[in-house]
Amino acid sequence: MSFFKKIKNKITSTFSENVEESKSQENIEIEKTISDEKELDILENTAPIDIHAEIIPDGGADVKAENEVLVKEDIPVEINEKKIINDVENIHSNAVEAIDANDFEDDVDDIHKEVPEPVEEKKSFFKRIVEKTTETVKYTFGIEKIKEGLSKTRKTFSDSLRKTLGFGRKIDEALLNEIEEILITADIGVDTTEQVIDSLRVRVKKENYESAEYLYDLLKEEIEKILIESPSAQNDRIYEIDDTAKPFVILVIGVNGVGKTTTIGKLAHNYKNAGKSVIIGAADTFRAAANEQLEIWAERAGVDIVQQKQGADPAAVAFDTLKSAQAKNKDVVIIDTAGRLHNKAHLMAELDKISRVMKKIEANAPHEVYLILDATTGQNAIFQAKEFSKVAPLTGIILTKLDGTAKGGVVIPIANELKIPVRYIGVGEKIDDLQVFDTKAFVDALFDESEKQ
């Protein structure tokens, strides 16, 4: 008999002895989980044998007696721990059999099979929500995901910058001109680039920097200063909303082709993962197949959608969506809209009507107005942002397709010239590839040196 089996048999024998010794004990604690509070009250005021007698099926005294025996066998008893420890030590000191590695593993497996699976702890609703939210944030806010999405931008920007700031170079006007060219190539824009270079000149002179290697960190600091953080950045990180603003209404705008539909689906997915109930309003009734595409994304996200036939009044769709959200006690409402920037007058009238109609139901709706921009369009994204800012009170920008372009630097002039915070960035096609934008995480990913040879 192996060492482990000896221990197991000895402990089993000791347990049996303690059961016999403890039968006379009057204060035995019985642990039983009962979900219904009424049953719990009965349990506290009734003897254990009476409780089991109530649930025994009709069958006479024999059935009852049989069940009474089972109850007694299942009662947990106090264990003489000191006696067990001494017994185990005695067995260990007298063990003479050599333990073969394979036998050892077999014994462990046998004991493991005989040990019952632990009962899963019942968690409160609040605890489950907190844990799920924490897991979601850990995944979507991962710096590695952002670094991966910015790989093409980093290749043309950070790598080129490191080569330019070669070992032993001195800071001079020629070097600053080369840095200026790198910034413009990364779509940081002429105006913002000039602002950054001017700041570098001032700091180099004031703080007496001479070696070019210092410019890498200085440039990183200057860009981080430009990127403004949203006042609701903390809520964005965990997809939280103001409880007093329920349902929380998000109006999504942007030209066709920028990834508006997919972004709405990803937003809905993330809010749902954070424990929020979501409903989508398909108010882009102008574009053919827009409803069908949005419906697919709603199904992927597992959320409700309100839609009407093509050509219907977008404001009516928004109205029906908000009414449905109130009736179903939804947390978040996301309204899609048509993107027709070439006709600003019509667009302005349509957006104004949507907002005006929703305010009849919810005075502060919409609570957020997100503009979706395609990062691959570079400086054209800035033009779109300027035009849309004239017709809608933008509260944030979502920049899509960062993983497919080397023009990710466009985030910087958008924040600098428009003073509108970037709230989310798209770094992939999957439903969970929409990342909460964080200024420090973005700059760290842009200047990441882990790939430096």
* Residue in the block written with tokens 């030209």: 255
Tens place of pLDDT per residue across the chain (453 aa): 555 555 556 555 655 555 455 444 434 443 443 344 444 344 344 443 333 333 334 444 444 444 444 434 444 445 555 555 565 456 545 544 444 444 444 544 454 444 444 444 455 655 555 555 554 444 444 567 777 878 888 887 888 888 898 777 899 999 999 999 999 988 898 999 999 999 999 999 999 999 998 999 999 999 999 987 777 777 888 899 988 889 999 999 999 889 999 999 999 999 999 999 999 999 999 888 888 999 999 999 999 999 999 899 999 999 999 999 999 999 999 999 988 766 677 888 899 899 999 999 999 999 999 999 999 998 899 989 988 888 889 999 999 998 888 778 888 998 898 888 899 999 888 887 888 888 888 898 888 766 554
User: What pLDDT is recorded for position 306?
Assistant: 97
Handedness of CA 428, 432, 437, 442 (dihedral sign): negative
Q: Are 398 and 264 in contact (CB under 8 A)?
A: no
Residues 6+ apart with CB under 8 A from 437: 230, 236, 399, 411, 421, 422, 423, 424, 425
3-class secondary structure per residue, 127-154: HHHHHHHHHHHHHHCCHHHHHHHCHHHH
3-state helix, strand, coil split of the chain in percent (to 5) is 55, 10, 35
Q: Are 365 and 250 in contact (CB under 8 A)?
A: no
Query: Among the residues of 22-124, which ranges form H helices?
Result: 37-44, 48-55, 60-74, 81-94, 101-114
Q: Are 200 and 176 in contact (CB under 8 A)?
A: yes
Cis peptide before 366 (omega within 30 of 0): yes
Beta-bridge mates of residue 422? 397
User: What pLDDT is recorded for position 199?
Assistant: 95
User: What pLDDT is recorded for position 274?
Assistant: 94
User: What pLDDT is recorded for position 130?
Assistant: 53
Q: How far is the C-alpha of 341 from the C-alpha of 352, rounded, in Å?
A: 15
* Residue in the block written with tokens 């840095």: 179
Threshold 0.85, pTM exceeds: no
